[in-house]
Structure 1
Amino acid sequence: MKLIRLAAAVLNQTPLDWRGNRARIGAAIDQARAQGASVLCLPELGISGYGCEDTFQSPNTLHHALEALLDLLPRTRGMVVSFGLPLRVRNGIYNVAALAVDGRLQGFVGKQHLAGDGIHYEPRWFKPWPAGVHDTVLVAGQPVPVGDLAFDIGGVRFGFEICEDAWVATRPGIRLARHGVDVILNPSASHFAFGKIAVRQRFVLEGSRAFACSYVYANLLGNEAGRAIYDGEAMIATAGRLVALGPRFSYAEHRVTSAVVDVDLTRLEQARRTAFQPHLGSDPGRIVVPDFPWPECPPESRPPEAPAWETSPCLKEEEFARAVPLALFDYLRKSRSRGFVISLSGGADSAAIACLVGLMVRFGAAELGIDGLRARLGLPADTPADSRERALERALTRALLTTVYQATANSGRITRAAARAVAEAVGAEHHEFDVSPLHAGYVDLVSKALGRPLSWGEDDLALQNIQARVRSPGAWMLANVKGALLLSTSNRSEAAVGYATMDGDTSGGLAPIAGIDKAWLRHWLVWLEREGPHGLAPVPALAAVNAQAPTAELRPADRAQTDEDDLMPYPLLDAIERAAIRDKRSPIEVFRLVRPAFPDLDPAQLGRWIERFFRLWCRNQWKRERYAPSFHLDDENLDPKTWCRFPILNGGFELELEDLRAWIASPPPAG
């Protein structure tokens, strides 16, 4: 019986934070050692940070990454530890995992399949390492193996699949299995998306089953570089069975998950399989063979237990309630801001963001304690008169979150009351401004310049936009005075069609919900009002928000303005966006795809709405180019810097829309 304790560490790193990243890695090694682990897998590019972008090409980045690795080697005495870093080999830059054994560097394994879809641009910086090729590279004057390697460490064989390597059909594990590998380490930087955990668990479990080995998966944690969120998933599986599962969305700087595996049992599984055909013959240089005395390891039987929320029927709602608050927490502290400011309109978008900030405090305090949370945020200790837990949370929320309701003549009592109720519910410092004089002043200024009064009949759009824009300076000033970050309240549905006032409601340094569609966001707010995240109370005050039809509230009240009257029903808008933008469908294809989901719509009206979407999409790319950074949350995004590129100046799909109109007027016969 050959028992080994394997460990996966998740790290909340920051690109180019050489001291901080090194310290967190060192602390994770110490924690793994304290758990009795002999093997530790750290995340992909954990030394440099995954999100270094074009600075991966900088000699300075490569120098500091290698220097940090050499400094960390002594911490690995008595252990086997993998590190992630960029490495130059013959003037190509590679994404590699370095393996240290008992304090000595034994080799580098190059990532073979680079992520180049969605938010990923790895081929811009790295070369894919060719399968079956190995070489040497000089490190501190000594030759070190590099390439498609495996390691025979004290009689136990190890190999690597680095993140994307495991997501492809020709994954390296297929070849590693033929070399009799006992353990596969997977250092990853796999960004969060709704439901993605199920995919990861499938390839970890299937890899351990198909290759008859033990499999260790270690992901990054938190908001590393600004846009991508990492859930900090850690998994260990053996022969198709999950034996350890770490918690996700932790507020800790690092976490270590470990489990004991039996190497003899996975070898027995390989021997039993008639389909298993080991690689015979020599392969000089492919297998690195360092000595290592494996310590005695007692057996354990501790089945992994997922937190209750992970098995909730409302998993997407739970994930959103955890992913965005963690991302806000990291953005706040890494940007060295001293809080958040929100222009709270009484509508769904700003209310959702206020609640997400409140959840940040509640989840952070639950894990770290109030004092620990304050320390992580760089806030001084506080001793309020009321020391009850919820009172402490509310006091901290008030210190971190400032909201302001900014009324014009077109604002109503309902939205004012809703904004006040939400601010009170989350514990924000709340203010109310009357910006009507500012609005009137600009209208008068332009009217005099033009020599005529402005009217709703002739100047509707300008009169709407100026109201949104006069709200920007006061919110920005509050943020400046407090050293806080102004949060923009735009959502993805509005971004798709430009239904936002540039330099008005788009004002801010971060757009937390610009990656989520409006229809689902409204659904989430109802869930938060009535149910809420597991272990926390719901927010009944949201009833005042959820009862309203979404409205920009920029026209006079007698015009009864609503978003959906201005645009189209939000569920339809989101369905059109997914088909047209995510799936790259033509207008006719969009019509055919969305029609079955909305059978009661008149075909001509549906066609007009599809045409409206395409025209607004094409007209408003310049706005999307100027949006504040947003979080990536699912399998689509409109961020032109990381996901969806589109020309600012374009032909507007004129020919395709002509085809759509003709097709609706004379549809082809069914069948």
Structure 2
Amino acid sequence: MGRTVTVAVCTLNQWAMDFDGNSRRILQSIQEAKDAGATYRSGPELEICGYSCEDHFYESDTLLHSWEVLANLLKSSICEDMLIDVGMPVMHKNVTYNCRVAFLNRRILLIRPKMRLCEDGNYRESRWFSPWTKERTVEDYFLPRMISQVTGQTVVPFGDAVIATRDTCVGFEICEELWHPASNHIPMSLDGVEIIANGSGSYFELRKAYVTVDLVKSATFKSGGCYMFSNLRGCDGGRLYFNGGSSITLNGNILNRGRQFALEDVEVTVATFDLEDIRNYRNSIRSRSHAAAASQSYPRVKVDFALTPENLMSNPPDRPLDGAQDVYGDDDGQSRLVYHTAEEEIAMAPACWLWDYLRRSCQGGFFLPLSGGVDSSSSACIVYSMCEMIVESVNRGDTQVLADIRKIVGDCEYVPIDPKQLCNTILVTCYMGTENSSAETKARAAELANQIGSYHHGIVIDTAISAILGIFQQVTKLTPRFKVQGGSPRENLALQNVQARLRMVIAYLFAQLMLWVRGRPGGLLVLGSGNVDEALRGYLTKYDCSSADINPIGGIAKNDLKKFLLYFRRKHGISALSDILEAPPTAELEPLQAGQLAQLDEVDMGMTYKELSVFGRLRKQNCSGPFTMFCRLVHMWDHCTPKEVADKVKHFYRCYAINRHKMTILTPSCHAETYSPDDNRFDHRPFLYNHSWKWQFAAIDEQVKRLKEEKPSRPHKTAPKVLAKPRYMPFSSVISNKTHPGIVV
């Protein structure tokens, strides 16, 4: 054994513009790292101000307050005798950069700006920051006077450099630089940098947890060394959930990794490794050694400090973990790593996001219109999952979670006993029935509410509907009728939409007053329950009960929600979910026929939820327009003829075009799915289209004609029967429930 080093990566639940809270959490993480014996601590990206400050980065106040926080850190005795780097914005020569600031014992060693900015998905970093493009170059940075008064320094190095201690060399990457094809860790490792720290702001998406694991393992497998990956956790003020998972990796093996989903604000992950293991590993790869001998050098900031202890035998190195993901204890006491299933991710990520939103919005709980269908039931179960996580955290002794839940319920002595009891305290559910509602859906909603413990009411809103229609009749002397009663499509749609919109109005009334009814202070947040597929298709009424304060499932596909409920039923024994899963999806806005449902979602939409997911992924992930989508699906859907595929694609794009305007007012949702149509940030596209797609559809028709001529008897499999009456209608007919833009505005 040579020299062992103990380092710490930190997972912090920061909040944009919360300089006071962010500062406290940073100091707590430094103290915990020091208590664990670490001599080097690294934290997440932009941890001082919060990652999602967005246009606040234009404000000089944001830069000023970041320096003020840094000054407090420099002065704190907690930060003594430890190499520390923190993330903050820094303006150099009138250009703002996303930076890491490394300091030791009241002296700033290096300000290292980000060199590769992230511009995809939900990221828009170049709107506020510029990349540092001067490779292996440093310049003098003139410190603000408030910092000079603490450090005694006037200028410090700013740029692409590394820190050389007495025993090793430390370099930096910032988030996107790890993902970039020309990652900085390769040339740094060739120049003898043995520890590379990455402060990151990587957000959650379903089934993507393996990405950072593979990246850090691959980086250190190829080039050797220790890679420290620190990530944010939680909702810092927007639609994203940052999913933690901070890790320490050595020579292609993960030594330790933090949790993805947790309510703790601060989690410090520590590992000890031997510097000689890095040197031996690198030297054994001869091709790497030959390249390193010819590598260009980085500027080095030399510091008279050692990360290793004097005693060679003081700390034994940690053994690698055997998998990839959250850390658990095996029966034999050894740690292991596992991946969460998508169902587990749905149970935890939106629940953590809801918790942050609830506690930081200073509200007293949630109000959920519970219809007895898959979507609203999923929202309810996610709240229950949140309650379960709260109880577990309190039982583990998390004083911050206990203080937060006491503030929410307005009782300084409250202690959550079990998830069901807590759910009854903070979740109010309500079944809003009409004459078009079935007894079965009402019963399913009541049974689920009883089993998860929510404070539930079943009400009838026909009186309110009649009052609204009475106003219309008084003015126009006309009485609109449903289609089954001989009414026109416009009448039919208007009668459905008035029900849906009244539910939204009633939901907000109850949300504002139900805690007053229960003798508690405050109000409730209204939860939405529209899934990502319905948003993509536009199968919702504008400003109806899909409009809410926040929506835990707005980024999740219908089929994934069904799988989640199956998992949830097994885990918690919620038998009510069985009937909910077996029931066909329905809006229940049209009259019953002989007491039975006559309206089914997939028939109304003219496509299945499974097809919608395919359309969504091709449109967003594969960047397919109508023609390319048709060309791809002709080969993917061999159970359909080219003409059938063409009709499906055309129908989707017609509906997408005439309903795209609804994406501008989607309830803020926890981002989860890679094909989310959220217009506000993730999916920037027009909201006014020529719905005829004349040129595009003509290209499809021409291709269908060619395929027919080339293969007049093209064999195809029999399509599975999903819809009783699939509708692929012309635009003039696409005015079934919740689809027509001329009416739904």
TM-score, with structure 1 as normaliser: 0.94
1:198 to 210, 215, 220: 210
Question: What SS does the corresponding residue of 1:646 show, helix, strand or coil?
Answer: coil
Question: What SS does the corresponding residue of 1:291 show, helix, strand or coil?
Answer: coil
1:183-582 mapped onto 2 (5 Å cutoff)? 183-275=195-287, 276=289, 277-278=291-292, 286-294=299-307, 295=309, 296=311, 297-304=314-321, 306-307=326-327, 315-369=341-395, 372=399, 373-377=401-405, 378-379=407-408, 380-381=410-411, 392-456=418-482, 457-458=487-488, 459-481=491-513, 482=515, 483-529=523-569, 531-532=570-571, 537-558=572-593, 560-567=598-605, 568-582=607-621
Q: Deviations over 1:238-274 (max 9, x none)?
A: 1112111112211111000101111122112222332
In the TM superposition, residue 233 of structure 1 has moved relative to its aligned partner by: 0.8
In the TM superposition, residue 7 of structure 1 has moved relative to its aligned partner by: 0.8
Q: Deviations over 1:495-520 (max 9, x none)?
A: 11211111112221112211112222
Residue 190 of structure 2 contacts residue 295 of structure 2 at CA under 8 Å; is this kept in 1? no
Question: What SS does the corresponding residue of 1:224 show, helix, strand or coil?
Answer: coil
Question: What SS does the corresponding residue of 2:535 show, helix, strand or coil?
Answer: helix
Residue 4 of structure 2 contacts residue 272 of structure 2 at CA under 8 Å; is this kept in 1? yes
User: How far apart in 2 are the matches of 1:439 and 1:281?
Assistant: 76
In the TM superposition, residue 666 of structure 1 has moved relative to its aligned partner by: 4.7
User: How far apart in 1 are the matches of 2:295 and 2:579?
Assistant: 73
Question: What SS does the corresponding residue of 2:292 show, helix, strand or coil?
Answer: coil
Residue 536 of structure 2 contacts residue 676 of structure 2 at CA under 8 Å; is this kept in 1? no
Q: Which residue of 1 aligns with 2:116?
A: 113
- The more displaced of 317-326 and 659-668 is 659-668
User: How many residues align structurally?
Assistant: 661
Give the aligned CA root-mean-square deviation in angstroms: 2.2
Question: What SS does the corresponding residue of 1:433 show, helix, strand or coil?
Answer: strand
User: How far apart in 2 are the matches of 1:662 and 1:313?
Assistant: 46
Question: What SS does the corresponding residue of 2:209 show, helix, strand or coil?
Answer: helix
1:647-666 mapped onto 2 (5 Å cutoff)? 647-652=686-691, 653-666=693-706
Residue 351 of structure 2 contacts residue 552 of structure 2 at CA under 8 Å; is this kept in 1? no
Q: Deviations over 1:374-417 (max 9, x none)?
A: 42232445778xx9x8x543222111111111011100111101
* 2:140 is aligned with 1:136: yes
Question: What SS does the corresponding residue of 1:647 show, helix, strand or coil?
Answer: coil
In the TM superposition, residue 103 of structure 1 has moved relative to its aligned partner by: 3.4
Question: What SS does the corresponding residue of 2:585 show, helix, strand or coil?
Answer: coil
Residue 246 of structure 1 contacts residue 257 of structure 1 at CA under 8 Å; is this kept in 2? yes
In the TM superposition, residue 606 of structure 1 has moved relative to its aligned partner by: 3.7
Amino acid at match of 2:113: G
Q: Which residue of 1 aligns with 2:733?
A: none
Q: Which residue of 2 aligns with 1:37?
A: 38
- The more displaced of 33-42 and 647-656 is 647-656
User: How far apart in 2 are the matches of 1:327 and 1:633?
Assistant: 11
Residue 78 of structure 1 contacts residue 103 of structure 1 at CA under 8 Å; is this kept in 2? no
Q: Deviations over 1:165-199 (max 9, x none)?
A: 01011101111012200100011100011232211
Q: Which residue of 1 aligns with 2:622?
A: 583
Question: What SS does the corresponding residue of 2:52 show, helix, strand or coil?
Answer: coil
Q: Deviations over 1:47-103 (max 9, x none)?
A: 010000011111000011111112112332111111000000101110111111233
Q: Which residue of 1 aligns with 2:63?
A: 62
% of aligned pairs identical? 29
Residue 198 of structure 2 contacts residue 228 of structure 2 at CA under 8 Å; is this kept in 1? yes
Residue 102 of structure 1 contacts residue 292 of structure 1 at CA under 8 Å; is this kept in 2? no
Question: What SS does the corresponding residue of 2:51 show, helix, strand or coil?
Answer: coil
Question: What SS does the corresponding residue of 1:196 show, helix, strand or coil?
Answer: coil
Question: What SS does the corresponding residue of 1:88 show, helix, strand or coil?
Answer: strand
- The more displaced of 39-48 and 224-233 is 224-233
User: How far apart in 2 are the matches of 1:593 and 1:359?
Assistant: 39
In the TM superposition, residue 314 of structure 1 has moved relative to its aligned partner by: 6.6
Q: Which residue of 1 aligns with 2:165?
A: 153
Residue 253 of structure 2 contacts residue 321 of structure 2 at CA under 8 Å; is this kept in 1? no
Gaps (5+ residues) in structure 1? Answer: none
In the TM superposition, residue 615 of structure 1 has moved relative to its aligned partner by: 1.1
In the TM superposition, residue 655 of structure 1 has moved relative to its aligned partner by: 1.8
Gaps (5+ residues) in structure 2? Answer: 149-153, 330-335, 516-522, 715-745
Residue 156 of structure 1 contacts residue 182 of structure 1 at CA under 8 Å; is this kept in 2? yes
Residue 226 of structure 1 contacts residue 331 of structure 1 at CA under 8 Å; is this kept in 2? no
Amino acid at match of 2:546: T
Amino acid at match of 1:278: A
* 2:191 is aligned with 1:179: yes
User: How far apart in 2 are the matches of 1:216 and 1:98?
Assistant: 16
Q: Deviations over 1:453-484 (max 9, x none)?
A: 21123111101101101111221012222411
Amino acid at match of 1:288: V
User: How far apart in 2 are the matches of 1:23 and 1:65?
Assistant: 13
Amino acid at match of 2:137: V
Question: What SS does the corresponding residue of 1:255 show, helix, strand or coil?
Answer: strand
2:651 to 612, 615, 625: 612
In the TM superposition, residue 303 of structure 1 has moved relative to its aligned partner by: 4.4
1:11-22 mapped onto 2 (5 Å cutoff)? 11-22=12-23
Q: Which residue of 1 aligns with 2:731?
A: none
User: How far apart in 1 are the matches of 2:460 and 2:321?
Assistant: 55
Q: Which residue of 1 aligns with 2:47?
A: 46
Q: Deviations over 1:292-338 (max 9, x none)?
A: 14434411445447456997787111111111100100111122221
User: How far apart in 1 are the matches of 2:343 and 2:43?
Assistant: 29
2:669 to 613, 630, 637: 630
User: How far apart in 2 are the matches of 1:98 and 1:203?
Assistant: 24
Amino acid at match of 2:509: M
Question: What SS does the corresponding residue of 1:52 show, helix, strand or coil?
Answer: helix
Amino acid at match of 1:561: Q
Residue 251 of structure 1 contacts residue 368 of structure 1 at CA under 8 Å; is this kept in 2? no
Structure 1's 67 and 120: CA in aligned 2 closer, same or farther, altered over 3 A?
Answer: same
Residue 234 of structure 1 contacts residue 257 of structure 1 at CA under 8 Å; is this kept in 2? yes
Q: Which residue of 1 aligns with 2:7?
A: 6
Structure 1's 55 and 393: CA in aligned 2 closer, same or farther, altered over 3 A?
Answer: same
* 2:106 is aligned with 1:103: yes
Q: Deviations over 1:102-154 (max 9, x none)?
A: 33211111111100001000011100111222212112341011111100022
User: How far apart in 1 are the matches of 2:295 and 2:220?
Assistant: 25
Structure 1's 592 and 280: CA in aligned 2 closer, same or farther, altered over 3 A?
Answer: closer
Structure 1's 311 and 40: CA in aligned 2 closer, same or farther, altered over 3 A?
Answer: closer
Residue 41 of structure 1 contacts residue 187 of structure 1 at CA under 8 Å; is this kept in 2? yes
User: How far apart in 2 are the matches of 1:409 and 1:180?
Assistant: 75
Q: Deviations over 1:416-436 (max 9, x none)?
A: 011111111221111111100
User: How far apart in 2 are the matches of 1:402 and 1:6?
Assistant: 46
Question: What SS does the corresponding residue of 1:292 show, helix, strand or coil?
Answer: coil
- The more displaced of 542-551 and 21-30 is 542-551
Question: What SS does the corresponding residue of 1:580 show, helix, strand or coil?
Answer: helix
In the TM superposition, residue 207 of structure 1 has moved relative to its aligned partner by: 1.4
Question: What SS does the corresponding residue of 2:96 show, helix, strand or coil?
Answer: strand
